[in-house]
Structure 1
Amino acid sequence: MPELPEVEALAVDLRRRLVGRAITAVHVTAFNALKTFDPPVSALRGTVVDGVGRHGKFLDIDASGVHIVLHLARAGWIRWREEVPALPPKPSTKSPLAVRIVVEDPETGATHAIDITEAGTKKSLAMHVVRDPLEVERVASLGPDPLTSDFTRDVLAGILSSEGRKQLKGVLRHQGTIAGIGNAYSDEILHAARMSPFKPANSLTDDELDALYTAIRETLGAAVERSSGLAASELKGEKKSNLAVHAQTGKPCPVCGDIVREVSFADSSLQYCATCQTGGKPLADRRMSKLLK
Structure 2
Amino acid sequence: MPELPEVEALVQDLRGRLADRALVRVDLAAFSALKTYDPPLTALSGTMVDGVERHGKFLDISASGLHLVIHLSRAGWIRWRDKVPATPPKPSSKSPMAARVVLDDDSGIDITEAGTQKRLAIYVVRSPEEVPGIARLGPDPLADEFTIEAFEQILRDAGRAQLKGVLRSQSTIAGIGNAYSDELLHAARMSPFKPAASVVESPDDLRTLYDAIRTVLKDAVERSSGLAMSELKGEKKSHLNVHGRTGQPCPVCGDTVREVSFADSSLQYCPTCQTGGKPLADRRLSKLLK
TM range, normalised to the smaller chain? over 0.9
The one-letter amino acid paired with 1:33 is A
Per-residue deviation, 1:50: 0.9
Amino acid at match of 1:151: F
Give the match's secondary structure for 1:111.
Answer: coil
Q: 1:251 is matched with which residue: 245, 248, 253?
A: 248
**AA matched with 1:190:** L
- Distance in 2 of aligned mates of 1:88 and 1:172: 40
* CA distance in structure 2 between the aligned counterparts of 1:188 and 1:222, rounded to whole angstroms: 12
CA distance in 1, matches of 2:273, 2:84: 50
Q: Which residue of 2 aligns with 1:160?
A: 155
Matched, 1:140 2:132: no
> Matched residue of 1:78: which SS?
strand
Q: Are 1:209 and 2:198 counterparts?
A: no
* Letter aligned with residue 14 of structure 2: L
Q: What residue is the counterpart of 1:183 in the other structure? A: 178
Alpha-carbon distance in 2 for matches of 1:263, 1:247: 11
Distance 2:241 2:10 in 1: 23
RMSD (CA atoms): 0.6
SS in 2 for 1:54: strand
Q: 1:176 & 1:244 partners in 2: Cα distance?
A: 26
Q: 1:132, CA displacement in angstroms?
A: 0.1
**Which residue in 2 is equivalent to 1:112?**
107
Q: Where does structure 1 differ by over 3 angstroms across 4 or more consecutive aligned residues? A: none
CA distance, structure 2, for counterparts of residue 87 and residue 186 of structure 1: 41
Displacement, 1:269? Answer: 0.2
| Count of residue pairs the alignment pairs up | 288
Cα distance, 1:292 vs structure 2: 1.9
Aligned to 1:220: 217
Cα distance in 2, alignment partners of residues 225 and 162 from structure 1: 31
Q: TM-score, normalised by structure 1?
A: 0.98
2:69, 2:112 → 1: CA distance? 15
Q: How far apart in 1 are the matches of 2:194 and 2:203?
A: 15
Q: Deviations over 1:41-80 (max 9, x none)?
A: 1100000111000000000000111100110000000000
Indicate whether 1:273 and 2:270 are aligned: yes
User: For structure 2, which runs of at least 5 residues remain unmatched after alignment?
Assistant: none
CA-to-aligned-CA distance 1:106-162 (integer Å, 9 cap, x gap):
xxxx32010000000000000000000000011011000000111010010000000
How does the TM-score come out when normalised to structure 2? 0.99
- Select the residue among 121, 124, 142 that pairs with 2:119: 124
Question: Counterpart of 1:170?
Answer: 165
Identity across the alignment (%) = 71
In the TM superposition, what is the alpha-carbon distance from 1:88 to its structure 2 partner? 1.3
